[in-house]
Structure 1
Amino acid sequence: MEIDAALAGRLVAAQFPQWADLPIRPVAEGGWDNRTFHLGEDMAVRLPSAARYAAQVEKEQRWLPSLAPHLPLAIPEPLAMGAPGEGYRWPWSVYRWIEGRTATVELIDDLPRFATGLGEFLTALQRIDATDGPPAGPHSFWRGGPLGAYDAETHQAIAVLGQRIDAAAATEVWEAALSSAWSAPPVWVHGDIAAGNLLVTGGRLSAVIDFGCSAVGDPACDLAIAWTFFEGESRAAFRAALPLDAGAWARGRGWTLWKALIVLAALPGANPQGADQCRRIIDDLVADHRLASAARGP
């Protein structure tokens, strides 16, 4: 459906009249799962773009205030939860605005330090009491759950791609990921640690946003950024900041592989820049898997 600033303004005026006179405008870099708008200078309106994202609203409203005091970086602060109305069918949120720019390598002063900071943030998140937290499920798109949820889709993507990738090597990475499981008590996971959900201020990591895929379970899903954004020294720094075993990193490679495969399989003959990035990620995962296998020995 059409979700624009005019709709956001009508919803705010109808449900939160104390903010009705504040200007509303789209943010510079919006997301796919939600449409976000500035509300005045200090707030943001966030509207799910489809029914499958709607369950995330109440989850964030319930849990973000509990997580925030235990974390070393800013995270979204819910101020109000809106109800369906004005032709819009789902709940929605008003948040306090967080200053910062979406992370890019060019904006970051020291990428290994940035990687360490992110690893320390995730370690702090994993240490928060997960009792009664939301287990992995459709609301998190199975982030925090077993990789097997995407086994059929991964094999389908490998088959579709055929000779465009090293299918045998990709399958080896995937099977290695499936061969381990998280055996410790469930921990909090963000669920979508990607550059688009990291904010930079003054060249440093300053905030982590969009907890829509958060859950309690296996933290391996939060490791994908090791291959999608970091490399070399920064990847090593990220790994060193996280107290996770080899099995978790194998599953992290699996989560990253699944996403790269399904994106690449959907891009034949289109968006060559995206396709090239996916191929690079897949090749990097294969190389990293082989290094890990060699380190373990026969």
Structure 2
Amino acid sequence: MHDDQVDVTGETVATLIREQFPRWSGKAVRRQSSTGTVNAIFRVGRDLAARFPLRAADPAEALAVLEEEARASAELAQVSRFPVPEPVALGKPGAGYPMPWSVQTWLPGTVASDADPSGSDAFAEDLAAFVAGLREAGTRGRLFGGTGRGGVLTDHDDWVGTCFEESEGLLDVERLRGLWSRFRELPRTSADVMSHGDLIPGNVLVTGDRLSGVLDTGGFGPADPALDLVGAWHLLEAGPREVFRRTLGCDGLEWERGKAWAFQQAMGVVWYYVESNPAMSGMGRRTLNRILAATP
């Protein structure tokens, strides 16, 4: 999926576990099929998951990222109303794999990209309850300090412009440019809240038609309250989307800003993953179609 991608095999993972965590050396190692774009995931036994960054990075810098993700995941686990993975250990480079890696608890369930809950009002209520629980945690004075989604919409003008250029022939770019020209001007009026930051189908677990867990919690932190509203557009059809909005109590401006963040994310994944990860690219197209259908 990436030019600088680092491949990792089950044999490598088994060797790393045997050498660094011998207490788990008897557990079966199985690679998990995933549309994820950041980590390769291996199930270790029945209750653990090992996560290996896919993109090459300086080992010291990568370790700092994993340590911060572990802190964020542990904090989110304390406030979530639904099961989330908890950090267990950090591994070191070895066996031909050049970067640190992480181990966390395994959660049962089916990812929402496979078990589509988009038509479920009950799932929409669950998703709203998850977001509400994070917001209630409080930022403890922390502010958004990143460069990704969750800060200022206009900071993403250059990236969205690149996406428009790369999407010629794939999408109705002229119409989409018109949407962004409106979205980028939506004012921010609310203080930061605690946010998951990436509520896409591949990060959400479903059992039946209910939310049973949320993955990829290492980005938990303060951000625009509208950021977690992307889940409404990535995960829900129109009826359940309104249930989500009503349950969470979103006003009109916040709702539109959530649409804007979903638009920014979807524009990026459609062209970038069109050949290397068609499922992710398809998610972006679906989200954009939902946004277009809901925007006069």
Under TM normalisation by the shorter chain, which class is it? Answer: 0.7 to 0.9
Q: Does 1:248 align with 2:254?
A: yes
1:80 paired residue among 74, 79, 89: 89
Is the CA contact (8 Å cut-off) linking 2:119 and 2:239 kept in structure 1? Answer: no
Q: How far 1:69 sits from its partner (Å)?
A: 2.7
Structure 1, 212-221 or 267-276: larger mean CA deviation: 267-276
Cα-to-partner distance string for 1:266-291 (whole Å, 9 max, x where unaligned):
5789999877765554343234232x
Instruction: Measure the CA separation in 1 of the matches of 2:7 and 2:219.
Output: 23
**Aligned counterparts of 1:6 and 1:273: Cα–Cα separation in 2:** 27
Task: Give the structure-2-normalised TM-score.
Answer: 0.83
Instruction: Give structure 1 stretches of 5+ with no counterpart.
Output: 291-298
Amino acid at match of 2:105: R
In the TM superposition, residue 3 of structure 1 has moved relative to its aligned partner by: 0.8
Q: CA shift at 1:236, angstroms?
A: 0.5
Aligned pair partner of 2:235 in 206, 214, 229: 229
Indicate if the aligned counterparts of 1:82 and 1:91 stay in contact, CA closer than 8 A.
yes
Aligned to 2:290, the other structure's residue is in SS state helix
Q: Distance in 2 between matches of 1:126 and 1:256?
A: 19
Please state how far the C-alpha of 1:82 moved relative to its aligned partner.
Answer: 1.8
> How far off is 1:44 after superposition?
1.2
SS in 1 for 2:131: helix
1:1-298 pair list within 5 angstroms: 1-29=6-34, 31-51=36-56, 54=62, 55-104=64-113, 108=117, 111-131=120-140, 135-138=144-147, 142-161=148-167, 165-266=171-272, 278=284, 281-290=287-296
Deviation at 1:230, TM superposition (A): 1.2
CA separation in 2, counterparts of 1:131 and 1:66? 12
Report Cα offsets for 1:96-139 as digits up to 9, x if no partner: 1111111258564971110111011011111112226573425x
Identity %: 32
SS in 2 for 1:131: coil
Stretches of structure 2 that go unaligned for 5 or more consecutive residues are 1-5
Tell me which amino acid in the other structure corresponds to 1:126.
R
Q: Once the two structures are superposed, what CA deviation does each residue of 1:5-64 show, in whole Å capped at 9, x if it has no partner?
A: 122222222222222222212124363211111111111111111246935421221122
How far residue 174 of structure 1 moved from its aligned partner, in angstroms, is 1.4
CA distance in 1, matches of 2:41, 2:130: 24
Greater shift, 38-47 or 114-123, is seen at 38-47
Give the 3-state SS of the residue equivalent to 1:241 in structure 2.
helix
**CA-atom RMSD, angstroms?**
3.1
**CA–CA separation in structure 1 for the residues paired with 2:101 and 2:287:** 34
Structure 2: distance between partners of 1:258 and 1:148 = 11
Who is 1:294 aligned against? none
Change (3 A) 1:162 1:120: same
**How far did residue 218 of structure 1 move?**
0.7
Q: Which has the higher helix share?
A: 1
Equivalent residues of 1:109, 1:204 under 8 A apart = no
State the Cα deviation string for residues 74-98 of structure 1 (Å, max 9, x = none). 0111111222333333322111111
The change in CA–CA distance for 1:89 and 1:129 in structure 2 (over 3 A counts) is farther
Query: What code does the residue aligned with 1:65 have?
Result: A
Number of residue pairs matched by the alignment:
287
Task: Give 1:183 shift.
Answer: 3.6
